[in-house]
């Protein structure tokens, strides 16, 4: 469904439907039976979406996605535990920062800006360090857009008898994952990414036995997912003030997600957006950071044009004037920017984005999107 506002080509918050926005036009009592039923429906549906009935429970957490990540690490990694963080971008690095704050032990397999962690290297680290109790992986590392190989990592983590925590913030809802096939203790996500809700809470799908065994781990009352879950199980209520309007919007978003064909349907649309966007941008001379094998249907990093007249802020402002909010890059070395494929975007919007990029390049006096390394190679040939 179209909206009249600028389209967000970002990894979230994203462009939502009018009906999701309209679902917020009612006030709810957080203790009321109607709202308790809404929370129960939300949790039940999310557990179903990972085939987690009987093994996993859903614990919602107020705040942005990072709150849910911090709560999960604090609740599941014991004070005497040790975490292996598979880093290849900003969100893996952020988990390291969280562990620093928590004062708990961790090591990192740091692959730099965008190389994927592979099973053999993870297995070698686990075999060499029996103190590691948990492994954390970012499903889609949104800073580059890479879709990390979660299945092969989960397999070695299970083989080595350790516990896996997946930050699937930007992937869950559009990338299928089954708790029956992939062994994980926690999968973390939030309302405002592939489910196309509005921002205000995250949620964690946690193995019930791991959650029950976590007593005493959390360093903080408000971040204790065990306490949150126990209170929810006992009363049907969130422990502290829930974002009621966001929950109402999320239920509408879940309905629309199901109508689109659930995870498979949403994946198909995002994948189509990605392929159309990448093909069109390549025609304009742009290059993707990643080879096709690693591109996610979530967000794509493009190298910035190497032409002297290119300036990201000008490009951004001119794209915005044409109705598209784009996203800066997050690489430490190369100049880049990102275009998201998620949210209320369809062929019509993707084609309009491509037209806008072409028009803005022309306005800026830039012949095409060729990045610096392509221009340098051409000059020295
Ligand atoms: C993979 C991943 N993890 C964590 C986060 C943090 O979420 P938030 O910005 O909502 O705190 C994001 C946000 O984009 C993300 O993409």
- pLDDT tens string, the chain, 381 residues long: the values are 444 689 999 999 999 999 999 999 999 999 999 999 999 999 999 999 999 999 999 999 999 999 999 999 999 999 999 999 999 999 999 999 999 999 999 999 999 999 999 999 999 999 999 999 999 999 999 999 999 999 999 999 999 999 999 999 999 999 999 999 999 999 999 999 999 999 999 999 999 999 999 999 999 999 999 999 999 999 999 999 999 999 999 999 999 999 999 999 999 999 999 999 999 999 999 999 999 999 999 999 999 999 999 999 999 999 999 999 999 998 878 899 999 999 999 999 999 999 999 999 999 999 999 999 999 999 998
Which ligand 1 atom is at minimum distance from the Cα of 94? 4
By CB neighbour count within 10 A (0-12 exposed, 13-18 middle, 19+ buried), where does 107 fall? middle
Nearest CA to ligand 1 atom 12: 169
By CB neighbour count within 10 A (0-12 exposed, 13-18 middle, 19+ buried), where does 266 fall? buried
Nearest CA to ligand 1 atom 7: 65
Indicate the top mutation candidate among 61, 62, 63, 65 to test ligand 1's pocket, ranked by most ligand atoms within 8 A of CB: 65
Which ligand 1 atom is at minimum distance from the Cα of 143? 16
By CB neighbour count within 10 A (0-12 exposed, 13-18 middle, 19+ buried), where does 309 fall? exposed
Nearest CA to ligand 1 atom 9: 65
φ, ψ of residue 196 to 5 degrees: the values are: 65, 40
* Residue 338 annotated in ligand binding: yes
Q: Which residues, judged by CB distance below 6 Å to any ligand atom, belong to the binding site of ligand 1?
A: 11-12, 64-66, 69, 91, 138, 142, 167, 169-170, 190
CA–CA gap between residue 27 and residue 33 (Å, rounded): 14
Which domains are delineated in the chain? Answer: 7-12+262-380 (3.90.1150.10), 28-259 (3.40.640.10)
* pTM of the entire predicted model: 0.97
Nearest CA to ligand 1 atom 15: 169
Which ligand 1 atom is at minimum distance from the Cα of 202? 10
């Amino acid at each position: 469904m179209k909206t009249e506002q600028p389209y967000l080509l970002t990894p979230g918050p994203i462009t939502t439907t009018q009906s999701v926005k309209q679902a917020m036009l009612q006030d709810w009592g957080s203790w009321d039976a109607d709202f308790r039923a809404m929370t129960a429906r939300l949790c039940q549906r999310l557990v179903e979406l990972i085939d987690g009935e009987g093994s996993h429970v859903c614990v919602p957490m107020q705040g942005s996605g990072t709150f849910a990540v911090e709560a999960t690490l604090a609740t599941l990694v014991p004070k005497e535990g040790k975490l292996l963080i598979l880093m290849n971008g900003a969100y893996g690095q952020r988990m390291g920062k969280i562990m620093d704050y928590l004062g708990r032990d961790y090591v990192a397999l740091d692959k730099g800006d965008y190389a994927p962690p592979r099973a053999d290297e993870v297995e070698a680290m686990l075999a060499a360090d029996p103190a590691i109790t948990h492994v954390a992986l970012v499903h889609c590392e949104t800073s580059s857009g890479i879709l990390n190989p979660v299945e092969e990592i989960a397999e070695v983590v299970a083989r080595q008898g350790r516990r896996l925590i997946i930050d699937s913030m930007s992937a869950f809802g559009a990338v299928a994952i089954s708790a029956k096939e992939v062994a994980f203790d926690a999968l973390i996500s939030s309302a405002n990414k592939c489910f196309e809700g509005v921002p205000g809470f995250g949620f964690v799908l946690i193995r019930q036995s791991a959650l029950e065994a976590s007593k005493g781990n959390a360093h903080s009352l408000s971040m204790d997912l065990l306490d949150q879950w126990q209170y929810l199980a006992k009363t049907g209520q969130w422990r502290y003030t829930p974002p009621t309007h966001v929950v109402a919007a999320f239920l509408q978003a879940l309905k629309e997600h199901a109508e689109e064909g659930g995870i498979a349907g949403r994946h198909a649309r995002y994948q189509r957006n990605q392929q159309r966007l990448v093909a069109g941008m390549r025609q304009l001379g742009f290059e993707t950071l990643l080879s096709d094998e690693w591109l996610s249907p979530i967000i794509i990093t493009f190298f910035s044009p190497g032409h002297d007249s290119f300036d990201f802020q000008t490009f951004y402002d001119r794209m915005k004037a044409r109705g598209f909010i784009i996203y800066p890059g997050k690489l430490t070395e190369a100049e880049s920017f990102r275009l998201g494929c998620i949210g209320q975007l369809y062929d019509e919007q993707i084609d309009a984005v491509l037209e806008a990029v072409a028009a803005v390049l022309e306005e800026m006096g830039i012949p095409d999107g060729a990045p610096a390394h392509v221009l340098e190679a051409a000059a020295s040939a």
